[in-house]
Amino acid sequence: MKQNLTLPRFSIGVGDRFGMQAKAQLQACILALDAGVEVVPVWNKSNREHVIIGSEPSAARVAADIAVKDLKWTGPYFVDADHIQLKTVGRFLEPCDFFTLDVADMIGQPAAAVDVEAFIARHGELIGSVVIPNVDAPLEVDREYLRSAANNFLAAVKEAGRIYRAIEKSKGEGQFVSEISMDETNTAQTPVELLVVLAMIADEGIPIQTIAPKFTGRFNKGVDYVGNVAAFAREFREGIAAIAYAVGRYRLPENLKLSVHSGSDKFSIYKVIHEAVQSSGAGVHLKTAGTTWLEELVGLAESGGDGLAVAKEIYAEAFAHADELTAPYATVIDIDRSVLPSPDAVNGWSSEEFTGALRHDGTNAAYNPSFRQLLHVGFKVAARMGPRYLETLRENEEIVARNVTANLFERHIKPVFLSEVK
């Protein structure tokens, strides 16, 4: 009998748009292990990204396997079918062993009345004062509130159940890690709602090992968190507490943990995440993606010559097609076009000027978050370059890899998993 796959306490989702940085990303996890903490890599790539790049999920598996073999990584690792839905899961079944079930679009769609009433009847323990250890006050829930929450979330969870069972039928019970994603919605979920959702997930028989709720604030692509850090910290701590309660009450997997989506570059909240997991003993999954693509550009610009020329060309095309590129990401980017430099100006930049504007370093007066966000969604331009972009990466592999590894280890892994941010 095959052993069930279990996601360890600390894990990091490492997106790799073009499938060229798996070794550099894994090297960051090796540095963490050398420092005494296992941070497990999860290579994540969505169906949308595969379509844009023109890649197949099997390529992500091949890149991960080669990196693991070449760098002699002996720990666990996973390949994530990111933001998967029932209509897109098929092509991911064979190569992936981690599935992020994305049901955010179903939130708010009313469930069948009979299902809502059945849920309420099963969960009388959720009505009244619900006392959760480490939550400041009892959660007060009446029948109508529970009915409203069921109407808001039950259809989404039932859809997650359908996706899960389709995967289980192909992969086998226990042979993959399941995550449920509810972050791409407008309203943050309260501790009560998270507890209700976890009860629904248990009813559906989905053995999730991570869950990605929507937190307060904006998680814009590739830039820092925008919002009330104290409010986020409270929600995160209460989320940990709700999970611990639900694991005991509803027999969910003991390693169930919070997942922070769009976690790339959210430097302002890393300290409070670190403190919360250290004080509680909980785990966390930090999901990053586009930060690696941006470090590829940093590396190319830093290398000068053809690398810098390609980076400038990508910016010029992104600037010219900004409306097209930004439209799918409207809810997760905030670009001030008045501070975007013209392509003509950028064409005159040195390597230092380009990297200064792009690299996420708030202490550098040249850093331009709008410039960075536009290039974040500009990976489509690089994709259209095809072999030319990939060959430029190969020619500058050493400097690109150095930037990718340093970014993941120094700016992400170290503050979240290893030590407090000063």
pLDDT in tens, 180-222: 999 888 888 888 999 999 999 999 999 999 999 999 999 999 9
pLDDT of 422 over the 70 cut: no
Q: How many whole angstroms separate alpha carbon 30 and alpha carbon 32? A: 5
* Under 8 Å between Cβ of 64 and 77: yes
Is residue 2 a part of any domain in this protein? Answer: no
Q: How many whole angstroms separate alpha carbon 209 and alpha carbon 226? A: 27
State the DSSP H helix or E strand holding residue 195, giving kind and residue range, or none if neither: helix 191-204
Q: What is the mean pLDDT of residues 118-128?
A: 95
Q: Which of 211, 220, 327, 213 is nearest to 263 (CA)?
A: 220
Q: Within this chain, do residues 320 and 176 fall inside the same structural domain, yes or no? A: no
pLDDT in tens, 250-302: 999 999 999 999 999 999 999 999 999 999 999 999 999 899 999 999 999 99
* Domain of 86, in residue numbers: 10-291+409-418
Question: How is residue 288 written in tokens?
Answer: 């990053």
Angle at CA of residue 213, ends 209 and 219, nearest 5°: 120
Q: Within this chain, do residues 359 and 274 fall inside the same structural domain, yes or no? A: no
Q: Within this chain, do residues 275 and 320 fall inside the same structural domain, yes or no? A: no
pLDDT in tens, 75-98: 999 999 999 999 999 999 999 999
Q: Which CATH number do you get for residue 24? A: 3.20.20.70
Q: Which of 82, 287, 101 is nearest to 200 (CA)?
A: 101
Q: Within this chain, do residues 249 and 396 fall inside the same structural domain, yes or no? A: no
- The C-alpha R_g of the chain, in whole angstroms, comes to 22
Q: Within this chain, do residues 192 and 316 fall inside the same structural domain, yes or no? A: no
Is residue 3 a part of any domain in this protein? Answer: no
Which residues make Cβ contacts (< 8 Å) with residue 319, sequence separation at least 6? 340, 342, 343, 374
Q: Within this chain, do residues 363 and 340 fall inside the same structural domain, yes or no? A: yes
Q: Within this chain, do residues 346 and 235 fall inside the same structural domain, yes or no? A: no
Q: Within this chain, do residues 194 and 330 fall inside the same structural domain, yes or no? A: no
Note the pTM of the prediction, 2 decimals. Answer: 0.96
Q: Are strands 139-141 and 128-130 parallel, antiparallel or unpaired?
A: antiparallel
Q: Which amino acid, residue 129?
A: S
Which residues make Cβ contacts (< 8 Å) with residue 74, sequence separation at least 6? none
